[in-house]
Amino acid sequence: MPQADIAHSATGAAPSQSPWKFLRLHFEFARVGFVNTLAYRLRYYTGIVTYFIYVSVYYFIWKAIYEHSVSIEGFDFAHLLTYIGVGWIIRSLYFNNIDQDLAYQVIEGRLAMDLIKPVNIQFMYVARAAGEAVFRLALLTIPTGVVLFLVYPLRPPASWGNAAAFLVSVGFSFLIVAAINFAVGTFALRLQSILGLLRAKFFLLELFSGLLLPMTFFPHAVQKILDLMPFQYISYIPMLIYLGKLHGGGLARAMSIQVFWVAVLMAIGDGLWRWSTGKLIIQGG
Amino acid sequence: MPPIIEVQGLTKEFRTFRRREGVLGALQNLFVREYLTVHAVDHVSFSIERGEMVGYIGANGAGKSTTIKVLTGILSPTGGRVISNGFVPYRERRHYTKHIGVVFGQRTQLWWDIAVIESFKLLKEIYEIPEPDFRKRLDVFSELLNLKEYLHTPVRKLSLGERMRCDLAASLLHNPPLLFLDEPTIGLDVVAKERIREFLKEINRTEGTTVLLTTHDLSDIEELSRRILIIDKGRILFDGDLEQMKNRLAQYNQVKFFLKDRTQIPRLAQIETDGIVCQRVDELTYLIRFDREHHSSAAVIRQIVNTLEVRDLLVEEEPIEEIVKRIYLKGEVA
């Protein structure tokens, strides 16, 4: 049927994606992520309480520790409280579930539905998580921030410039976490059940991102090793920017390293994805 | 023109490990694993021409879905060569999937929590479908599949039949030359099945779309495809058209007859000679199944009408379900 064939989309033509089309498509993915999250609104109201409790626990712990000293490792109590409080506020934004999403997609045998679409799976997942992040910003991050700033004496950003750099830096934090989660999630394709692995990753990130305590509180040798890893660029670095402990050249350098890690981690995720799909087992059917 | 799909020696092995039973077995499993290799698909070869509609059937676990998954770029094979629409599916997944349509009857490719039309719009972006083409096809599909009422309903609220129609429309919005359907009529009622079959015929006729479908419902095959591929335990058992299959593999013909009245019943025994057995369907309806090689239909009919007074009489070929059942059970084409 040669005449019918002309009407069909051309075979062999590469998907010619202009940057504009790429953005529009991924904006659409983000929108779907946003709309899908609407169904789980309730989870976020309880989230506000959870985050408040976390910060309160750390408030009392650090208050007890600071009874006997004015400053630890260059942080006075007000600084440290802000570090912890704002650290949890931004966590509510950069946190995402790409790893779990992938794991469940594999467990429930739905990954095939992603694979039949001519899209970059990693970008699709990251875009969808970004849509969810916008949702969380409105329903979790901002309300949690308001509550915490009202209840505890948290400090504002060191300057307007720092505030702006801080916001951009949190954006990179989101991308770093998303890239790590995607990379870890790809293991679900080979191992089937990775929920244990995901728990391990969860605690690793909590500790090494600087969420629980600043990197300077770690032993020197450990700091040296962690300097070479992406984790502290998730929470520690944005918080240093917020507190005004990074500026000028140091700030530019820190944010460049964030960008570097986004690129490297995404490349690793892409490599792992290719490696895993070669050995894919789809559940069911 | 070369075939649109060429499969040569396709083999897919899965390595699963054998779980030992009990506590000791579980502990043993942690350290020493015994692997079993399962040949889901074993040196399968076939080719499909443009515009064909081919039915791909086999018992559960025969290797149908694995074949479809390799052909749609989801799985990479252990061995063999696959060229589909000019691509090696699993190597060039993103380029390849742009030009195929896929429906898995058991799952949906639509987004669960958003309205159907939103999913369609997202697919428009994914496949870069020009606006006028998108509008035109959406109109045609809405009409043919009767989608209008629930375009604005989230997928999770649709019934299975409605969802399947939406999935079918979704798979064809970008007008792919090649469509893969994995059990597209599973769980659907008669009317819904009929509508989907009519739609597929229409698309095949007007767009020349090549269709490969797996199914357990053989009436799908009878309605849609002239050609049938039967796979069992990973091997192709039969590849040819339906008529050919019936001619070659049907062993029985059957004659169904309706007696004029009860007085005829005692005389039934008289025709039960030479290995012919009457089966009772109801009081006045009987069925004779006979080997095609030993008896001719004409002879059997003559015997019946000479002996009995019958109101009506029907000669039927062995139903294709029966033929296929025999193939599945025997695991070979005799």
State how far residue A235 is from chain B, nearest Cα, in angstroms.
32
As a whole number of angstroms, the distance between CA A205 and CA A199 comes to: 10
Confidence band, pLDDT 50/70/90 cuts, at residue B334: low
- H or E element in which residue B194 lies: helix B190-207
- Out of A38, A120, A280, name the one closest to residue B75 (CB): A280
Chain B residue with minimum CA distance to A37: B113
Do the domain assignments include residue A7? Answer: no
CA pair distance B163, A188, nearest whole angstrom: 28
Supply the pLDDT for residue B220.
Answer: 87
Instruction: Give yes or no for a contact between B141 and B218, defined as CB atoms under 8 angstroms apart.
Output: no
Strand partners, B229: B56, B239
Residue B16: what residue type?
A: T
- Closest to A89 measured CA to CA, from A135, A48, A130, A60: A48
C-beta atoms of A36 and B112 within 8 A: yes
Find the mean pLDDT for residues A144-163.
Answer: 94
Average pLDDT, chain A: 87
**Which chain B residues are closer than 8 Å to A15 by Cβ?**
94-95, 98, 128
Helix (H) or strand (E) holding B227: strand B227-232
Q: Using CB atoms, pick whichever of A9, A14, A116 lies closest to residue B174.
A: A9
Q: Are B237 and B327 in contact (CB under 8 A)?
A: yes
pLDDT of residue B178: 96
Per-residue pLDDT tens digits for A213-246? 999 999 999 999 999 999 999 999 999 999 999 9
Q: What is the pTM of this model?
A: 0.84
CB contact under 8 A, B104 and A9: no
| Residue A155, in any domain of the structure | yes
- Is residue A3 scored above 60 in pLDDT? no
Residue A65 lies in a domain: yes
Average pLDDT of the residues of chain B: 88
Distance of CA B104 to the CA centre of its chain: 12
Q: What is the mean pLDDT of residues B304-316?
A: 88
pLDDT score, position A17: 63
Interface mutation vs chain B, best among A6, A8, A128, most B CBs within 10 Å:
A8
Nearest chain B CA: its distance from A119 CA (Å): 6
> Residue B51 — left, alpha, or beta (φ > 0 → left; ψ -120 to 50 → alpha)?
left
**pLDDT above 50 for B92:** yes
* pLDDT at residue A107, as a whole number: 84
Q: Answer with the residue of higher pLDDT: A54 or B24.
A: A54
Q: Is residue A4 part of a domain?
A: no
Q: How far is the C-alpha of B150 from the C-alpha of B117, rounded, in Å? A: 9
Element (H, E) at A20: helix A19-37
**What is the ipTM score, two decimals?**
0.80
Confidence check: pLDDT of A13 > 70: no
Alpha carbons A267 and B10: distance in angstroms, whole number: 32
Considering only CA atoms, which of B203, B170, B165, B198 is closest in space to residue B184? B165
Nearest CA to B281 among B304, B257, B260?
Answer: B257
Q: Report the number of distinct structural domains present in chain A.
A: 1
The answer to whether position A282 is within a domain reads no
For residue A178, the model assigns a pLDDT of: 97
Predicted confidence band of residue B88 (pLDDT cuts 50, 70, 90): very high
pLDDT in tens, B15-31: 777 777 777 777 777 77
**Cβ atoms < 10 Å from Cβ of B280:** 11
Query: Using CB atoms within 10 A of its CB, is residue A281 exposed (0-12), middle (13-18) or buried (19+)?
Result: middle
| Residue A93 exposure: Cα atoms within 13 Å on the Cβ side | 24
Q: Cα(B224)–Cα(A209) distance, rounded to whole angstroms?
A: 59
Which strand (E) or helix (H) includes residue B310? strand B310-317
Q: For testing the chain B interface, which of A117, A132, A275 should be mutated: the one with the most B CBs within 10 Å? A: A117
**Residues B45-66: what's their mean pLDDT?**
91
Q: Residue written as tokens 């429309």?
A: B169
Q: Quick check: is A222 in a domain?
A: yes
Q: Which residues of B touch A38 (CB under 8 A)?
A: 113
Mean pLDDT (whole number) for A87-102: 93
Calculate mean pLDDT across residues A155-174. 96
Residues whose CB is less than 8 angstroms from the CB of residue B238 and which lie 6 or more positions away in sequence, other chains included: B228, B229, B230, B245, B249, B327, B333
Q: Which ranges of chain A would DSSP assign to H, the alpha helix?
A: 2-7, 19-37, 41-66, 77-94, 98-107, 111-115, 121-136, 142-151, 160-185, 188-191, 195-208, 220-227, 236-243, 248-277
| Structural domains of chain B ordered from first start | 5-247 (3.40.50.300), 252-317 (3.30.70.260)
For residue range B113-168, list pLDDT tens digits in order: 889 999 999 999 999 999 999 999 999 999 999 899 989 999 989 998 899 999 99
A276 to each of A121, A189, A244, B184, how far by Cα in Å? 13, 6, 43, 29
Which whole number is the average pLDDT over A247-271? 95
Residue A29 with chain B: CB contacts under 8 Å: 122
Residue among B233, B259, B235 at smallest CA distance from B312: B259
Instruction: Indicate the pairing of strand B5-18 with strand B79-84.
Output: antiparallel
pLDDT of residue A279: 57
Where residue B43 falls among pLDDT bands split at 50, 70, 90?
very high
Which pLDDT band holds residue A5 (cuts at 50, 70, 90)? very low
**Across A109-121, average pLDDT:** 90
What's chain B's length in residues? 334
Domain span holding position A224: 19-277
Averaged pLDDT for residues A168-177:
97
Give dist(CA B63, CA A16) in Å, integer.
Answer: 35
Residue A206 lies in a domain: yes
Residues A176 and A235: beta-carbon distance below 8 Å? no
Task: Name the nearest CA neighbour of A99 among A281, A269, A258, A276.
Answer: A269
CB B40 within 8 A of CB B68: no
E strand or H helix that includes residue A4:
helix A2-7
Strands B227-232 and B235-241: antiparallel
- Chain B environment of A116 (Cβ under 8 Å): 72-74, 97, 100, 102, 109
- A185-189, B180-184, B223-227, B290-294: the lowest-pLDDT one: B290-294
Q: Which residues of B touch A14 (CB under 8 A)?
A: 95
Residue A11 covered by a domain: no
- Token output for B246: 């019936």
- What's the count of helices (H) and strands (E) in chain B, helices before strands? 11, 13
How close B74 comes to chain A (CA, Å)?
A: 6
CA–CA gap between residue B232 and residue B238 (Å, rounded): 9
Residues of A in contact with B40 (CB under 8 A): none
pLDDT band, very low/low/confident/very high, at A90 (cuts 50, 70, 90): very high
Question: What are the b/e assignments for B137-166, b being 16+ CB within 10 Å?
Answer: bbeebbebbebeebbeebbeebeebbbbbb
* Cα angle A176, A177, A181; round to 5: 120
Residues B181-206: tens digit of each pLDDT: 999 888 888 888 898 999 999 999 99
Q: What is the mean pLDDT of residues B246-268?
A: 85
